[in-house]
Amino acid sequence: MNETDADMGAVTETNGDGDRPWTLTVAAGLFWLLATGLVAAGAWGLAQLATGRVDTAEGAVGVVLLAWAAALYYWFLGRRLLQRRDVVAQAVFQALLWLPVGYYLREAAHPLLGIGAWALAAVLLGLVLSGPSRRAVGFGERRPFGETE
């Protein structure tokens, strides 16, 4: 929606955020929640490194960097979903990665955490693949090769 001035034309541009379905907002929030958890896990790893409770410092630094890189990627996915960009395939892939995580958590004597990881995967898949989400980002629309937005 634009406010217009007779002499200047459109003077203000407002975002069309009212058109974003709630499914995209919740999916973005879940990705940001995961990003926050990964940042906290990286900080915990740094605290373990500082107190000397790790076997190898290089391995601990690697895990921290990997956690923070994944957090950055999850933050990016959440941001792109809020912007109604077509990152559905990436979001689906990231959601599916939680299925083996749940399996290994259950095998490691953490059955409730494993079921939680499976539930997270199911919720993310449901939100991202829902009709309103796919229509809002234009997922599945056929465009001629080379055409950009």
Give the pLDDT of the chain (149 residues) as one tens digit per residue. Answer: 455 555 555 554 444 456 889 999 999 999 999 999 999 999 999 999 999 999 999 999 999 999 999 999 999 999 999 999 989 999 999 999 999 999 999 999 999 999 999 999 999 999 999 999 999 998 877 666 776 66
Cβ-based burial of 74 (10 A; exposed 0-12, middle 13-18, buried ≥19): buried
What is the value of pTM for the model shown? 0.79
Element (H, E) at 108: none
Residue 53's SS3 state is coil
Cross-strand pairs, 10: 4
Decide if 27 contacts 128 (C-beta within 8 A). Answer: yes
Buried b (16+ CB within 10 A) or exposed e, 95-120: beebeebbeebbeeeeeeebeebbeb
